[in-house]
Amino acid sequence: MKRIISLSVLFLVPLIAFSQTFFGLQNSNYSGAHMIYTNPAALATMPFKRNVNFSSIGFNLNNNYFSLETPFTFWQLISNNVDPQYCNAKGNVDWQSEWLKENQGVNKIWANVDLEYRGPAYATRYGERLVWATAMRTRNSLNISNLSPQIVQWGKSLLDTNANLNLLDVVNQSFNVRANSYQEFSGSLSYLAINKKQFKLSIGATGKILLGLGSFNMSNNGSQFSAYGHDSIRVDYADIKVSYTDFDFLSQITKGVLLGSLPKLNNISGLGYGVDFGFSVESGNTGHSESMSKVVSNKNYKWKLSGAILDLGHINYASEATGYTIKTEKPVTMNLMTTEFIAAAANGSSGVFNYVTTFAKEKGIYQEIEEQTTIDLPTTIQLQFDYSVFQYFNVAMHWQQRLLAIQQNQFLGSSSLVVVPRFEHRWFELSTPLSFYDNYEQFGIGIFTRIGPIFIGSDNFLKSFTSNTYSGMNLYFGISSLLP
């Protein structure tokens, strides 16, 4: 029972692990309808008359504190080639707790988990200059920042029911926990404003209708508490603000389109809008006629420059969101071994949450917030440059810079700088993105390959598949195809 209680109490320090960027795919001339997500202006010069994305999905996991160090690589694991000495009698990997390492030099812990599903998208050309596209996708993000290692250590000790814990003082001046999930339906318009053999200029815009599926935001402006083993917690002082639509994280992030189905209307908690704007310039011999109505097998411009600002907008949770603050300058103590708390813990995180809320109200440290919760989109600036070295071989540079949010609640974006050398053909493509990502804090060597309509890629392939030390993982795959 103590283990159940401990896991439930950890709603205060969730194991949270944004920005899925699909580096290889998004810098390909043959990404088709996927160009919507990086620069809508690029659609006007796509080498297709019509293109469709059937289904694509990607996930991203990274943190700066925990790492998994195994005596085998991930590739050996998925290829079932792990040394038998690390397996149990049934032939399955015998996972050991000592494989989980901690970075003791970290003072502020951050972690991100992102899941992006790209549902059906369709781009079609009208005449010589105009391309219209529609798309839908679901984005889920959980992130945590500025968390004190002391809190993580306390949470770990609670999981060990045999540990003899002494008094532990935990101070955390500030940390933020955000979980957001939304679905977007978009329409994009791209226009080839200048269409010369040696020079092309296109502009484009995307409008989005956003369905907010769930939001949780916790902002700690300073707190200190004392943990007395497994038995009780004394809050010495606290200033914590919380707003949410659904406290059940797992339920929240699985709502919406994951396999192409529409969300239930009663799952929609908020509504909003978003817009993207972009331009694209191509210069040099394009190698084909000015008519863009026919599919071409290769793009032969000498260089291309594109820029865009993405995700301007927000989601409002007008009536569904609940907000409150827990604020005190006098110590209050919560007993974790009472019958009431044990019964609440048996109902999971929502039960513990309700118990803590009731406790705060009884102690007079709870205050409801009457304000509309607004979640800002992960606004970023995108700049892409592509240079044709020789036929079928290009090198791209892609810079993405996130912008600071004006409001406190933000669906965080990420900054990155990537170079993408690639061989690309209508039926086959291979690239190896080299990137500084996660706000330039990590270096990744990725891979992307496309065979006909099927593609698969990773922004940090070398680390994910060939290393035995993991602090994150990134993978995306899908099916997209031209249409006659």
Instruction: Give the pLDDT score at 172.
Output: 64
* pLDDT score at 260: 41
Give the start-to-end residue ranges of the domains of the chain: 2-13+26-49+111-392
- Residue by residue, pLDDT tens for the chain (484 residues) are 333 333 333 333 333 334 457 999 999 999 999 999 999 999 999 888 899 999 899 888 888 888 888 888 777 777 788 888 888 888 888 888 788 888 888 888 888 888 888 989 999 999 889 999 999 998 888 888 888 887 777 666 655 555 555 556 666 667 888 888 888 999 999 999 998 888 999 999 999 999 888 788 888 887 777 766 667 788 888 888 887 776 554 455 555 444 444 555 556 778 899 999 999 999 986 444 444 444 444 466 899 999 999 999 988 886 656 778 888 888 888 887 788 887 887 776 667 777 888 888 888 888 887 667 778 888 899 999 999 998 889 999 999 998 865 445 556 677 899 999 999 988 999 999 999 887 887 788 889 999 999 999 988 876 666 666 666 778 899 998 877 6
User: Cα separation of 385 and 402, whole Å?
Assistant: 18
pLDDT value at residue 235: 82
- pLDDT at res. 335: 81
Structure confidence at residue 170 (pLDDT): 66
At residue 298, the pLDDT reads 45
- The model's pTM is 0.80
CA angle, residues 212, 11, 313, in degrees to nearest 5: 25
CB count within 10 Å of CB 403 equals 17
